[in-house]
Amino acid sequence: MGAAYFYHLTTQPLERALPMLLGKARGAGWRVEVRGHDADRMAALDAALWAGPEEGFLPHGLAGGPHDADQPILLTTGGGATNAPACIMSVDGADVAAAEVQAMERVCLIFDGHDPEAVQVARDQWKALTQAGCAAQYWAQDSGQWAMKAQAGG
């Protein structure tokens, strides 16, 4: 049974935090689905990952290509990634169901702490997932470092 980790971005934009989180997931040997709502946003994240440092390259692709099932990291605009992920990273408030949290090694919900609407969506997701019995942790950026601020369930 997995857990939902909430990442509250306050000192870095998603484009800088996501590669670090993806690197950790890939370091654990996990395939990852990065789930968002907007195709243009996912294309921008794809471009940001391609533009990253060569030594930290993260092999990935946008869903809809001929090799989706082979991608270690697949950027999608909906659930059901064909790359058999062990980890889902939800961005921009993309929905994650309690059953997915329980089936995955980890689910990461990454949200912009400077956007009140994004913070409220994350609060609602925390409440829904923990009430459904999912283990959850809340992490916030503290002076550039991640610090766990809350934990529930598990």
Q: Looking at the domain covering 3-152, what would its CATH class be?
A: alpha beta
Mean residue pLDDT across the chain: 93
* Choice between 9 and 52, residue whose per-residue pLDDT is larger: 9
What is each CA distance from 65 to 14, 42, 49, 71, 147, in whole angstroms? 24, 14, 17, 10, 37
SS3 19: helix
Per-domain residue ranges of the chain: 3-152
Q: Which residues pair with 152 in a beta bridge?
A: 136
Question: Is the pTM for the entire model greater than 0.85?
Answer: yes
List pLDDT tens digits, range 102-134.
Answer: 999 999 999 999 999 999 999 999 999 999 999
Kindly state the average pLDDT of the residues 18-30.
Answer: 94
Record the tokens describing residue 49, joined without a space.
Answer: 């990952």
Phi, psi of 76 (to 5 degrees): -130, 165
